[in-house]
Amino acid sequence: MKKKLCVISGSRAEYGLLQTLLKKIQKERSFQLQLIITGMHLSPEFGLTYKEIEKDGFVIDEKIESLLSSDTSVGISKSIGLGIMGFSETFQRLQPDMVIVLGDRFEIFAAASAAMIARIPITHLHGGESTVGAYDESIRHAITKMSQLHFTSTEAYRNRVIQLGEHPDTVFNVGAIGLDNIQSLPLLKKSQLETELKYKFGQKNILVTFHPVTLEANTSSTQFQQLLKAISQLSNIQIIFTKANADSDGRIINQMIDTFVRKNPKKSIVFTSLGQKKYLSTMKYMDAIVGNSSSGIIEAPSFKVPTVNIGDRQKGRILAESVIQCDPNTNSILKAINTAFSKKFISKIKKINNPYGKGNTSEKIIAILKKKLVQKNSPLSVKKNFYDLIK
């Protein structure tokens, strides 16, 4: 009998990372894919991105409404509660053999909480990472403690998961799953991309993605204003914005983007969601990635494209040599962007290696899941002992 693998996705970025894995689960005779969609995927404000998933040929087994029309701390806490209720009922109906989650968002925390209480084994991707500026840090480590299998993106992160008390036999360094898309997706040529985006690239081009630093109170508008001031001072530059996610104060950033683009229509454009293919294609042709998105840390180095990483949201992650860290103020951001544009820096990063691997992550995950779930021909136990490093 096929093992039912239930994959959860709540955002456009997360689905983009999981896309190759979903396809491989579909093709694997030993597995039956179950797909639950929640969070921003179901919100008109964030582009109703579940439709992109259906266009890709995936059957959605359940849509769980959990995202309230609020990005306050109270609204997000209520969303977690709604999510737990929805996931608990859905898991009872679907009866999965394994729940697969990625990362650290609050809707994923809700899914993992419900699965743990339902005694369903959990596989967690991208555990062990550190993002000091966001409450994702605590959520990520909490999901690690609820999970039975762990797929990390570097050996250092594997060691950190073991440090959290997880047995080494359950923790696997498979690289960053997002790099699979760079290998597998037929990325667009520059002329095709301009047609798709209805936008003409300029002499210099930057992709801006900035999310709230959720462990800082009321800094979103101030920090993003500093970024907008910095890029306003750059000449001969075209700017592509992608909007912030549904974290606390994300809507403030999105309103500021809309205002900037209205005032600067010839040099800037904004997208709620580009989708993974267009997003990676865009990244490939940029002169710099600017903001605080994990994509600038993980995917951009594979394209040898400079990243200007602003502030503390991603503080603690392993950085490639192509990533320039700067403070969230205009002068520091301008200095970092000018460094990214310099011939010396561009020449320096042409030969860098991405510390998050070279891809083929999905194949590694499938092989391990088959070994753990199929070859043993027995359910994966939800019981686990704390693994002490000091005996």
Res 327: pLDDT: 95
Structure tokens of 349?
């990063």
Rounded mean pLDDT, 228-245: 92
CA separation, residue 231 to residues 2, 73, 242, 338 (Å): 53, 30, 15, 11
> What is the tens place of the pLDDT at every residue in 7-35?
999 988 889 889 999 999 999 999 999 99
Average of per-residue pLDDT values in the chain: 91
Confirm if 210 and 227 have CB atoms less than 8 A apart.
Answer: yes
Ordered by start, the domain boundaries in the chain are: 3-178+359-375, 188-351
Q: Report the CATH number of the 3-178+359-375 domain.
A: 3.40.50.2000
Cα 278 to Cα 259: distance, rounded to the nearest angstrom: 24
pLDDT band of 217, cuts 50, 70, 90: low
Helix (H) or strand (E) holding 116: helix 106-117
> What is the tens place of the pLDDT at every residue in 37-96?
998 888 887 778 889 899 999 999 999 998 776 677 888 899 999 999 999 999 999 999
Structure tokens of 299?
């995917």
> What is the tens place of the pLDDT at every residue in 115-174?
999 999 999 999 999 887 677 889 999 999 999 999 999 999 999 999 999 999 999 999
Please tell me if the domain spanning 3-178+359-375 has the same topology as the one spanning 188-351.
yes
What is the bridge-based pairing of β-strands 204-209 and 288-291? Answer: parallel
DSSP state letter for 66 = -
Check the CA dihedral 152-57-49-191 and report its sign.
positive
Confirm if 79 and 66 have CB atoms less than 8 A apart.
Answer: yes
Please name the residues in contact with 2: beta carbons below 8 A apart, sequence gap of 6 or more: 29, 30, 31, 32
Res 130: pLDDT: 85
Structure tokens of 9?
């996705």
Please name the residues in contact with 327: beta carbons below 8 A apart, sequence gap of 6 or more: 310, 311, 333
Res 291: pLDDT: 94
What is the largest distance, in Å, between two alpha-carbon atoms of the chain?
64
> What is the tens place of the pLDDT at every residue in 243-270?
887 666 778 889 999 999 999 999 999 9
- pLDDT of residue 214 exceeding 60, the answer is no
Q: Hey, what CATH topology would domain 188-351 get? A: Rossmann fold (3.40.50)
Res 240: pLDDT: 97
Confirm if 44 and 35 have CB atoms less than 8 A apart.
Answer: no
Q: Cα angle at 106 between 135 and 228, to 5 degrees?
A: 60
Please name the residues in contact with 167: beta carbons below 8 A apart, sequence gap of 6 or more: 384, 385, 387
Res 247: pLDDT: 64
Structure tokens of 293?
């998105």
Res 283: pLDDT: 95
Q: State pTM to two decimals.
A: 0.85
